[in-house]
A and B are shown apart, each in its own frame.
Chain A
């Protein structure tokens, strides 16, 4: 049985059934998803520097892409991978790729196939015309696949890619892959971009960049977002994309709008709703405290 004090409006403001919050959040997200509007995206320097770095690489350079995420992080990280891969292939850069998460290979493979399909069409990005081209496995990209124990794999690749990966993901020996001719270790790559939803990022920073000193850029999930900023400040990481916002910024820079830019309008209204509930809860808390203090007096 509830007493009068428990049922006052301020108490009720603090104890809204969480299911109403979930329901409202889903309603708001679905509504915002279908409404035809867009939100302005402000690009931060840490994202722009990655785009500029890739854009200014000479054709034929090798970008090493580490795709360390699984379907759980797909919504945030796939847009980054798509935009970055398309930019690389349109600029005639070559891509080497690993997936040091057991579920990563399927993510990487899906991205390569989708971007290869997209490259078969003429497109214009940022006012520059890019004719259709065929992206060939082994020539334009080499997908090494998955090996367990990321730290040891990253260290091994610093000596020779062939140590942890005698063959690529499809079983072709690395020595018979055209892209791998003369490519021994990170020294032959222009940079490493780690797109990750796992703690594998730490390995890339310390075992990879710390040991072999290659330029490293990160694309991480929102949950990991605040965690890796110190590495940007210390210069261990030269560029940084965090969460869906980072992905949307990269899509905007690449002039290749995709799922991340669409998602930002949903984010906007979902955040409004969450802020609204935080305010409601706080008003309830402070007013209840104030009321109790007054009654006590």
Chain B
């Protein structure tokens, strides 16, 4: 490692150590565990800045924060799964002894032999760790894949297909009372007849043109081709809206971190 890198790292360590001391002093009298609170806020600030430093270029601080995040996440998720499902749901229904051991409330009369099925499948899944018997884990995986496929099939059919198709069957002439009435009561309010009709026409034409764009059994020429062109424009507008929301989301995250750094860490209130 270069000498300048070592000096830089030492300076960073000193800076954040000083920050810990100042934060702990600021929390004294306010928080019970003020030294720990000071450390946690300083650590969070250090990790935030380490991750943000990647915007300049890859560096050891970013690598450290990234590896720490991945490692802790994996361990945290696994322990949450164990304590919430095996300890929280399984033991209280299977064994009073195990419930007492893990200090969870035993549910008498809730015992069911079929609770052993997921236990066995779970153990089989762990066989993946064995080089010789790893193939056995495929049975559990097959169960997971089959169940998920079955559940998702119904889910998509109902929520994303039938409901979405039926929601595009919209009246193109909303509350139609004749051409005279339409022009005499024309207004541009959001709940007005004109805007509602316009919105329904946009939905109708958007869906039709979008479907035509993805219809490849006929050459996209003539009227069909023009509808397909409108379809691609509809898609582009959708992607644009999605991108706009994404930009807003990312800026929101930046604002969140700025708020943390200035308000919680540096104590600067607006």
Contact = CB atoms under 8 A, between A and B. Distances in A.
Which interface class (under 10, 10 to 19, 20 to 34, 35 or more) fits A? 35 or more
B167 A234 contact: yes
Interface in A30-70: 30, 33-34, 36, 45
Interface in B66-112: 76-77, 80-81, 84-85, 88-89, 92-93, 103-105, 107, 110
Contact of A29 (B76, B160, B258): B258
B182 to A, nearest CB: 24
Interface of A is mostly: helix
B80 A266 contact: no
Interface residues of B, number: 50
A233 B164 CA distance: 9
A148 interface: yes
Contact of B167 (A151, A205, A235): A235
B179 interface: no
A241 to B, nearest CB: 12
Given A145-B84, A173-B105, A262-B270, A267 B252 contact: yes
Contact of A210 (B110, B159, B252, B270): B159
Nearest to B105: A173
A243 B249 contact: yes
A162 B160 CA distance: 29
Interface in A144-178: 145-148, 151, 164, 166-167, 171-173
Contacts of B187: none
A291 to B, nearest CB: 26
Given A166-B89, A171-B105, A234-B164, A266 B249 contact: no
Contacts of B190: 45
B163 interface: yes
A29 B85 contact: no
A103 B74 CA distance: 12
Interface in A207-257: 207, 209-210, 221-227, 230-231, 233-236, 242-245
A183 interface: no
Interface of B: 55-56, 76-77, 80-81, 84-85, 88-89, 92-93, 103-105, 107, 110, 151, 155-156, 158-160, 163-164, 166-167, 190, 203, 238, 241-242, 244-259, 262, 270
